[in-house]
Structure 1
Amino acid sequence: MLVRRCAIPLLSTLGLLAGLLAPVAGADARRTPAECAAALDCTAADINLLTMAERLEFVRAMESGPAAGLHAPDRWRNIEGVITFFRDRRLGAPGSWVSYVDAGIVEGIERGVAIALGRGTDEFGNLGSARWASYLTRLAAGAFTTRSAHDQAWSEAEQASTDHGVALAEAHGQVATPVEQRFFQFSEVYRWTLRNRPVVLDLLLVYGGLIHPELARLRVPFYDWFTDVSESAPSYHGCELAYGFAQLHPVAGVTGVAGLFLAYVEDLFDEYLAGHAH
């Protein structure tokens, strides 16, 4: 009887310990970058849990894997540059405003690839998904005969997924800090620049000489460098510049997207010249 009485609390204790030591339910539900790139079904909630280093791995795995079959092995190198900047500056921790916005962008790309490949039609509620799918389908078919047409479609897809990311952050009660909001304006300038090639080239022709003696002459190669989605360096350097400006707030009083673009141009052009001999 004594043995039996002792065995009951002992078994209860062992059961309690087993429960504490057992894996927590859902602890292994966190998806890895490789799993997300292979399945193309990670939600923005899944992506929000990834670090920026892991998101960089995820985007690169999509480019070298499933997206390569759509002639898109390098279509998000500029986004790689932005994510690399976030990683290096330790920005965008899971659950933050930056994290949710970025998760919306990456989710839109992921689902766009999946839809374009015929691997389902679920957009995950992300308006960027269908636009990315359309962009990729046209890209694979060789439908973009001009740089302007390509950049327009790319920027519209990224804009839609970015807007979804902003809404996602707001839905989770996250609000951009003043610095983050000013930094975000730079990304809006970038997408506007992609969509308005003739306007931007005209601006550089008219104002370029006032900003730098070589800018008007080199406006086309500079513009093509800055808006090249297959390069990570321009976006990374652009982020460095924009974040520095956002912290110091030197663009106060500048109005309109065109005005913001011109406020950044001098430093961006210096970055361009540093890597290009003319």
Structure 2
Amino acid sequence: MRAAFATLLACLLALTAAPATAGATTCTTTLTCTAADIDGMTIAQRLTFVRELAAGPAADVVPGYAPRWRNIEGVLEFFADRGLGASGTWVSFVDAGILEGVERGIALARGDSTDTYGNPGAPLWASYLTRLRDGKLSGRSVHDRAWSEAEQASTEHGVVLAEHVHGVAATPVEERFYQFSEFYRWTLRNRPMLLDLLTPPVGPGDQRQLTFLDWFTDVTNDEPAHRGSHLAYDLAEFDVPGGALDFVALFHAYAAALAADYLPA
């Protein structure tokens, strides 16, 4: 009996001492979760994390603006649809690098800390938020460039975490999917300034998108990234029928957005 009690006590002590995986709400409150903590989250928890970051601490820095990371939400929604992003996978580590960069950028911009956790995206996200707050990113071209540069740095850090720190390589499909995301960020960085003459400023108020490019690259909208990720992944798998259906779904979503903007209620 004494030996059984000792064994039970040892098990309870081990459970108490074991580090718990950080939850989304805890990370939003403390802004101190690392990429390793985020890797331990489920995709559903990461969605909650991003939404709470935008609604809470990011809004402390830039009040009155639409959420800045809805397109990241769209990608996470896609991961949930396809069962991707489990802890310890290449997708998970890369995504954790992105979300860590966002979190640390908010902490820097809010003045909570000066620690980037070694994530090169963090100071770029901080600069993005403070410039947005100060009215320096009112045009779409300059806004999208700043956003893309911050996500690019965070994403590349996530790739380093996956491949060089944890030794997890992308599958051929994941690598092709990643190249689609690279093209998306390149498009954001290279948006012609002349298009800003046709597009409302980035800020509170009317956010109507006038062209497919405006709609597809709107970081405050999760639908284009959600539908576009499905299309990109099926193309990466060389799934022609699936890609065709995804293409139709993507443009149906765009048509619905146009109808909502331009047709009378």
TM-score norm. by structure 2 comes to 0.84
Residue 237 of structure 1 is aligned with which of 223, 227, 243? 227
Unaligned ranges ≥5, structure 2: 196-208, 241-245
Task: Say what the alpha-carbon RMSD is for the aligned residues.
Answer: 2.3
Residue 157 of structure 2 is aligned with which of 149, 160, 164? 164
Unaligned ranges ≥5, structure 1: 1-9, 202-218, 251-263
Matched, 1:95 2:116: no
Residue 83 of structure 1 is aligned with which of 64, 72, 76? 76
What is the deviation of 1:145? Answer: 2.8
User: What residue identity is the alignment partner of 2:167?
Assistant: G
Aligned to 1:74: 67
Superposed CA offset, 1:170-199 (max 9, x none): 120111101111111111111011011129
Residue 6 of structure 2 is aligned with which of 8, 15, 21? 15
Aligned to 1:211: none
Contact 2:132 2:138 in 1 (8 A): no
Matched, 1:272 2:241: no
1:138–1:199: structure 2 CA closer, same or farther, 3 Å change rule?
closer
Find the residue that maps to 2:211 and give its secondary structure: helix
1:5-154 paired onto structure 2 within 5 Å: 10-71=1-62, 73-154=66-147
**Residues paired across the two proteins, number:** 239
Identical-pair percentage = 54
Structure (1 or 2) with the larger CA radius of gyration:
1
What is the deviation of 1:270? Answer: 5.5
Superposed CA offset, 1:110-132 (max 9, x none): 00000000001000000000100
User: What residue identity is the alignment partner of 1:29?
Assistant: A
Contact 1:52 1:92 in 2 (8 A): yes
TM-score norm. by structure 1 comes to 0.80
Contact 2:223 2:253 in 1 (8 A): no
Superposed CA offset, 1:126-171 (max 9, x none): 0000100010110111111311000000000000000000000012
Matched, 1:193 2:187: yes
